Amino acid sequence: MTESKKTANVFVEHRQLIIQTIRDVFPGVDEAALARVNVEPPRDPSHGDLASNAAFAVAKSVGKASKEFAALIADHVKIKAQVSVSGTDVAGAGFLNISLREDYLQKQIVEILKAGEAYGDSAIGAGRRVNVEYVSANPTGPMHVGHCRGAVVGDALANLLAKAGFAVTKEYYVNDAGAQVAALGWASYWRYLRVIEPNLEEWTAEQVERRFGVTLQYRGDYLVAVGEALAEHHGASMAPQRVEGAPSAAQAAAGVASALELGWFVDRAWLDAARERAVAMMMIAIREDLALLGVNQEVFLSERALVEANATDAAITALEGKGLLYEGVLEPPKGKTPDDWEPRPQLLFRSTQFGDDVDRPLKKSDGSNTYFANDIACHADKLRRGYDLLIDVWGADHGGYVSRMGAAVKALSDGRVPLEVVLCQIVHVMKAGEPVRMSKRAGTYVTLRDLIEEVGRDAVRFTMLTRKSDAQMEFDLDKVVEQTRENPVFYVQYAHARCRSVLRQAGEPEVAKLATAPLEHLRDKAELDLIRRLISWPRVVEAAALAREPHRVAFFLHDLAADFHVLWNRGREDSTLRFIREDEPEATAARLALVAATASVIRSGLGVMGVTPVEEMR
């Protein structure tokens, strides 16, 4: 673990102290063993403020029993760190527990006030270049609630990694090639026909499907605007043409003639125009919806642009140059019977050499590239741009894709660049105890815009982070707007609003002045517990970033809010603990410093989550 830091981190500080103590007591100690030393909060708060596994990590390498080693190091740490450590203890088979001095805890308030919302910033990422790709929905319709969770998780993870010292790029991979986008072109063309054709009965969806052997799978009203835009630009020039008898060779080569009912001709160029206009308009809508959610990615990489630039062929050639391609016949997929399976030679990638369970095809039966081949090109492009780490945020339904994509990245980067995939489970939207399923505009699902308009951006973002991403969740529209302790969005926002209320009542004291407050007045258990929670924020940032788990930030903020609310209520029960007491200016100054520090850390955490802190609750 990198030890450099941007703001005060008591866990890193005391880890360094323990490691240096071990070096002093055992010169020449194995550095690899020292690298395994951790410092974290003890499971039981009664055991102190910090706990270390130092004995389990190092004792064997110096020929000591764990408990004996821990006792020896505990004595030296207590002597070496008298400024910060009030006591040490050995628990169990050799855990080293450390209790911190009250005055040391109190002084950490100054560190928080000086850093402001930058408190918790870390250099653990050491500037490593990370590409975080998330959302990446097909541009075939509005963003829906299924996309929402991945959007929030990906955006918060990117923010978290940036706070931890990584150089982060936020990316959206536009899946604008393939069968689904081709189907979008047909659906948009049908909407165009509905605008230009005065005899609408001639071009019902069913008739279009029958005449041209297609399926209009996208029938939501959101494509009406695409049809109107096509009609405005092209007029009636793209109307289907009647064909007397069989289409000519030129017509057959240039267009799509009815396979089931002769008499109509559609130029493929018209379908291309419909597809291109639809994709462009869908991406505008998608960007607008994401902006409503507070998501603004820097890079939008087009699958079609990669294909047209021969990037897929180049990636295949690169794999071929590494001796990783061959012609072969795959076994039938699991669950298939021989009647369902037609074995045939295919161009296969040796993905099993890199941990996949089977080798993967890169070409379809018609010679075109598979979706997987295009996705390889996408990741090859990222590697070309020089990233040190690739992170993809996918829906859980893509879980089976993880091993093959990881194999491709390993192969292309010669194992230098890891690919990590964060999976997001489905979200069930509920209202009045019943599932919410429909959106008039989209036709079959709840749109992201619907959700934001119902409860607000901040409630959406915070709620999506209240569970680990790979766990299914219910998004209850009624509960996320309740002003109760059971609603974590309200509970955390209310804590910040209370902090701001106190500071306004005190006349908005300057931070520089609060940093000079006599903090020795903060002696009550609730005050010290709140300080202990505050100083754990830098460690939460690092641990959550390394685990790729932004939901830990939501959990931390909920616990921090709980500690603050406890202190608030203590002041109502015991007047001597009130934040503002005219008869005790020094104690008031110290408590205002604590309140300001609390507000600052809450804002720091909400900033990672992409949630706006509220000034007051209405």
Taking only the tens place, the pLDDT of each residue in 351-400 is 999 999 999 999 987 888 999 999 999 999 999 999 999 999 999 999 99
Q: What is the pLDDT of residue 3?
A: 43
Q: What is the pLDDT of residue 341?
A: 63
d(CA 277, CA 433): 40
Indicate the residue type of 422: V
Q: What is the pLDDT of residue 227?
A: 97
Mean pLDDT of 524-538: 97
Indicate the residue type of 514: L
Q: Is the pLDDT reported for residue 4 higher than 60?
A: no
Q: What is the pLDDT of residue 86?
A: 96
Q: What is the pLDDT of residue 280?
A: 97
Mean pLDDT of 581-604: 97
* The overall pTM is greater than 0.75: yes
Mean pLDDT of 461-481: 94
Mean pLDDT of 130-137: 96
Buried b / exposed e over 501-522, threshold 16 CB at 10 Å, is ebbeebeebeeeebbebebebb
d(CA 325, CA 348): 6
Mean pLDDT of 142-151: 92
Q: Are 546 and 540 in contact (CB under 8 A)?
A: no
Query: What percentage of the chain reaches a pLDDT higher than 70?
Result: 94
Res. 35 pLDDT band, cuts 50 70 90: very high
Torsion sign over Cα 469, 473, 475, 476: negative
Q: Is the pLDDT reported for residue 540 higher than 90?
A: yes
Q: What is the pLDDT of residue 439?
A: 60
Mean pLDDT of 170-176: 97
Q: Is the pLDDT reported for residue 549 higher than 80?
A: yes
Q: Is the pLDDT reported for residue 1 higher than 70?
A: no
Mean pLDDT of 8-17: 95
Q: Pick the closest to residue 216 from 198, 191, 242, 252 (CA basis).
A: 191
Residues 6 or more apart whose Cβ sits within 8 Å of residue 382: 131, 133, 171, 390
Residues 6 or more apart whose Cβ sits within 8 Å of residue 448: 142, 143, 144, 145, 147, 148, 151, 289, 290, 292, 293
Q: What is the pLDDT of residue 295?
A: 97
Res. 208 pLDDT band, cuts 50 70 90: confident
Q: What is the pLDDT of residue 262?
A: 57
State both tokens at 400. 């089976």
H-helix or E-strand spanning residue 493? helix 488-505
Q: What is the pLDDT of residue 320?
A: 97
Q: Name the DSSP class of 173.
A: E
pLDDT tens profile 75-126: 999 999 999 999 999 999 999 999 999 999 999 999 999 999 999 999 999 9
Mean pLDDT of 276-280: 97
Strand 419-424, strand 389-395: pairing: parallel
d(CA 210, CA 213): 5
Indicate the residue type of 469: S
pLDDT tens profile 221-261: 999 999 999 999 999 999 988 777 666 667 667 777 554 45
Q: What is the pLDDT of residue 365?
A: 79
d(CA 504, CA 499): 9
Residues 6 or more apart whose Cβ sits within 8 Å of residue 245: 262
Q: What is the pLDDT of residue 560?
A: 98
d(CA 32, CA 433): 55
Q: What is the pLDDT of residue 440?
A: 52
Specify the range with the lowest mean pLDDT, choosing from 138-147, 241-250, 257-266.
257-266
Instruction: Using DSSP, state whether 113 is helix, strand or coil.
Output: helix
Q: What is the pLDDT of residue 337?
A: 59
Using alpha carbons, list the distances in angstroms from residue 171 to 156, 201, 391, 449, 545. 13, 44, 10, 21, 18
Q: Is the pLDDT reported for residue 2 higher than 60?
A: no
Specify the range with the lowest mean pLDDT, choosing from 14-18, 265-269, 562-566.
265-269
Q: Alpha helix (H) ranges present in 294-421?
A: 303-308, 311-321, 371-384, 402-413
Using alpha carbons, list the distances in angstroms from residue 315 to 321, 355, 607. 10, 19, 38
Q: What is the pLDDT of residue 260?
A: 44
Res. 490 pLDDT band, cuts 50 70 90: very high
Q: What is the pLDDT of residue 513?
A: 96
H-helix or E-strand spanning residue 17? helix 10-25
Q: Is the pLDDT reported for residue 438 higher than 60?
A: no
Residues 6 or more apart whose Cβ sits within 8 Å of residue 552: 540, 543, 544
Q: Is the pLDDT reported for residue 503 higher than 60?
A: yes
For all residues of the chain together, what is the average pLDDT?
92
Tell me the residue length of the chain: 618
Q: What is the pLDDT of residue 33?
A: 96
Indicate the residue type of 290: L
H-helix or E-strand spanning residue 600? helix 585-609
